[in-house]
Amino acid sequence: MKTCLVVDDSRVIRKVARKIVESLGFACEEAGDGQEALDQCRKHMPDAILLDWNMPVMNGLEFLVALRAEENGKKPVVIFCTTENDMSNITQALRAGADEYVMKPFDGEIIESKFAEVGLV
Amino acid sequence: MLTESKFRFLSEDVKKRSGLMLGPEKGYLVESRLSPLARTEGFASVEALVDQMMRGDAALSARAAEALATHETFFFRDRTPFDVFAETIAPVLKTVLHGRKAKIWCAACSSGQEPYSLAMLLEEMPGLDADIVATDLCNSVLEKARAGLYSQFEVQRGLAIQRLVKHFEQTGDTWRISPRLRQMVRFEVGNLLEDFGKYGKQDVIFCRNVLIYFDIEAKAKILDRLANQLQPHGYLILGAAETVVGLTEALKPVPGQRGLYARPEALEKIKAA
């Protein structure tokens, strides 16, 4: 079974995202900030990562840059999922190595559409 | 709810105007789609609105037919037709057009996501230019299409983020299709029951997810007339739940290409080649 790591400091968002990615056939793991996510990736690299931007300790963009520098760090498909909805944020994320970008608020349909876009479903 | 006789009047009137079939099971749809119209037109109920239609108010009948149509659409809907366009149709057009611009018609285009998706593909594809005409029965969706303004929700359905960045400008909470793409598409009011002559011969016609709402007789007539508007090498693309089989001899399915149809003589050429 493919795995998806949901990285968000909001437990509510993680719960909503978990339901959606599980319905798409993924096993779901969770992390509350970028550092936690990076620690988890070093132990087990997931197939996909749903990534919030603004988080304490290490934000999503810092995490992404660190992830892509890791051994095997190019493997996960990274989908930003954030309220940072400006074009400038989107291009910054893409340059840092994001594969897709979801602007909050999101629903299951949008996540499924974006997963299809990057070939995950 | 409408009485049986009023429902029958409504369904016959709508079918005559737009081709849409309203079976008796569509009572909920009539209520949900005509209630807003009844309110804005100042009627106490859908029934009062239909009463006015029965008195011969043609303008109101036309608005009711528009309100009853389904406008569901999104960018790159169903994906396959766009892959077929890029991988199968475009290479053929490049060889037969000899530098001429392709003519593409999106019939029943709703709020414009289908023609704009094609415009994106064409812009990303070297060596093929096209004029796209996109038609719909309904004025209000065409206004939206012409403006090219889409909500955050709409631009996240079916659209890769790279395409959003490449082909849209952000204006506050909404996203506007680039002027380049807007220039490639001409939007016009068009009714599938009316004469197609003014559109001229097309290289490709997209007519997806609209004939499912029509009865067999109307489907057959429209397919014959669409075939008439195609160049000899032209292609018709229908929705996933639609077909020409059993409805017309003027078009045949292209083997191995879901949703793609061509004139029989064009298929003979493909087989021979």
Pair B46, B129 in one domain: no
**Is B74 a member of any domain?**
no
Residues of chain B with pLDDT under 50: none
Round to whole Å and give the CA distance between B108 and B136. Answer: 4
pLDDT at B197: 94
CA dihedral A96→A97→A100→A102, nearest 10 degrees, is -30
pLDDT at B271: 67
Domain boundaries, chain A: 3-117
Give the gap in angstroms from C-alpha B162 to the nearest C-alpha of chain A: 8
CATH number at residue B47: 1.10.155
* Residue in the structure block whose two tokens are 């909001």: A10
- The answer, yes or no, to whether the previous bond of A105 is cis (omega within 30 of 0) is yes
pLDDT at B273: 64
pLDDT at A65: 98
Chain A neighbors of B157, CB-CB under 8 A: 109-110, 113
Q: What are phi and psi of A71, to 5 degrees?
A: -60, 135
**Is B238 a member of any domain?**
yes
Chain A neighbors of B165, CB-CB under 8 A: 87, 90-91, 94
pLDDT at A69: 97
Give the ipTM: 0.92
Chain B neighbors of A116, CB-CB under 8 A: 79
Which domain, by its residues, includes B30? 4-68
Q: Homologous superfamily of A3-117 in CATH?
A: Response regulator (3.40.50.2300)
Number of structural domains found in chain B: 2
Average pLDDT taken over every residue of chain A = 96
pLDDT at B11: 96
Please answer yes or no on whether A117 and B170 come within 8 Å at the CB atom: no
Pair B101, B15 in one domain: no
Strand, coil or helix: what is A119? Answer: coil
**Is B59 a member of any domain?**
yes
Round to whole Å and give the CA distance between B137 and B193. Answer: 10
User: Tens digits of per-residue pLDDT, A60-89?
Assistant: 999 999 999 999 999 999 999 999 999 999
Pair B180, B267 in one domain: yes
Pair B187, B258 in one domain: yes
pLDDT at B267: 85
**Is B75 a member of any domain?**
no
Comparison of pLDDT for B266 and A52, the residue scoring more: A52
